[in-house]
Amino acid sequence: MELRQLAYFVAVAEEANFTRAAHRVHISQSGISAQIRQLEHDLGAALFDRSTRAATLTAAGQAALPHARAALASAAAARQAVEEVTTLIRGRLVVGMVTACTVTGLFDALAAFHRAHPGVEITLVEDASDRLVERVRAATVDLALVGTAAAPPPGLEALTLVSEPIVAAVPPGHPLTGRAPLTLADVCAHPVVSMPPGTGIRTVFDRACAAAGLRPDIALQASSPDTVADLAARGLGVAILSRSMAAHVEGRLCGLAVDDATAPAVLSLIWSDTGAPALRELVRHSRRAFALAGTLGTSPAPGHGRE
């Protein structure tokens, strides 16, 4: 049994597909299949059910998976410990960010980190916030920029960048501009344009509506807040945005406070405290970059992307 076989096994288990797993670990499909079969021979049991299109774990595979991950983590920790002793930071970091993100503080942090530690390979992935949280928990993403509802996800380290309420954004002259105070019921009397489920702002809105017993008419969804604003500006619905997003499109849209939607949408950097020196250094660079940008715990600059 070899570490690379365990790595291939974990990749197939996480991708549920031999072809995608082979692409992920940069070998041929026949190569990864052969290595998995050798591992199954060594263990004396089939790890995957190959009778369907998806590579599904057998009972033996499910039992072996946490131990395979633990063995890989231990090997990585040993390498990192040696690197710390020699003060040489190398390796690979996977950084996740919400789709359509343009948070310049994160890009500044990555650039500064790369200059200081060129030996560390950085991989950047985009995904919905809820999936990024799970990928950080599963240790397939090291650090991620995510939008959540009310607070950063529990059980993870977090650096809160933004915490602010959602607003209803409408064009000037829209019937809602004459209502004060504005409630969720008022908003839900109109078609709504929002970001998709899995984003922090959408989660805040959905939870607030559920608590009020309301079922909004989600007319249109878009991944980019700028697209949501553009659709609302054309009269296709009431945009649900964060306060700073609405301020970014002021003139085209009016951001209206919603009295009974007080839970904040939160934009945070999250990571699992593994003690990895490269990750620790990236977090340090991130803290410094966002502090210099003056965005820690405040409303972000225009164009901060999807939450």
Q: Which residue has the higher pLDDT, 306 or 80?
A: 80
Which residue ranges does the chain devote to CATH 3.40.190.10? 89-156+269-293, 166-263
pLDDT of 99 = 80
Q: Residues spanned by CATH 1.10.10.10 within the chain?
A: 3-84
- The dihedral sign for the CA sequence 36, 42, 43, 49: positive
pLDDT, tens digit, 9 for 90 and up, residues 11-45: 999 999 999 999 999 999 999 999 999 999 999 99
pLDDT at 84 over 70: no
| Distance of alpha carbon 133 from alpha carbon 204, whole angstroms | 16
CATH number (3.40.190.10, 3.60.130.10, 3.50.50.60, 1.10.40.60) of 89-156+269-293 reads 3.40.190.10
> Are residues 71 and 275 in contact, defined by beta-carbon separation less than 8 angstroms?
no
| Strand-strand pairing, 238-242 and 192-194 | parallel
The string of pLDDT tens digits covering residues 102-157 is 677 888 999 999 998 888 999 999 988 889 999 999 999 999 999 888 777 888 99
In whole angstroms, give the CA distance from residue 262 to residue 167: 10
Could you read off the pLDDT of 149-166 as tens digits, one per residue? Answer: 877 788 899 998 888 899
The model's confidence at residue 77, banded by pLDDT at 50, 70 and 90, is: confident
DSSP count for the chain of H helices, then E strands: 11, 12
Which DSSP symbol is given to 250?
A: B
* Pick from 56-65, 207-216, 298-307: least confident: 298-307
CATH tag for 3-84 (out of 1.10.150.20, 3.20.20.60, 2.10.109.10, 1.10.10.10): 1.10.10.10
- Work out the end-to-end distance of the chain between its first and last CA atoms, rounded to an integer number of angstroms: 43
Position 298 confidence tier, pLDDT thresholds 50, 70, 90: very low
CATH class of this structure's domain 166-263: alpha beta
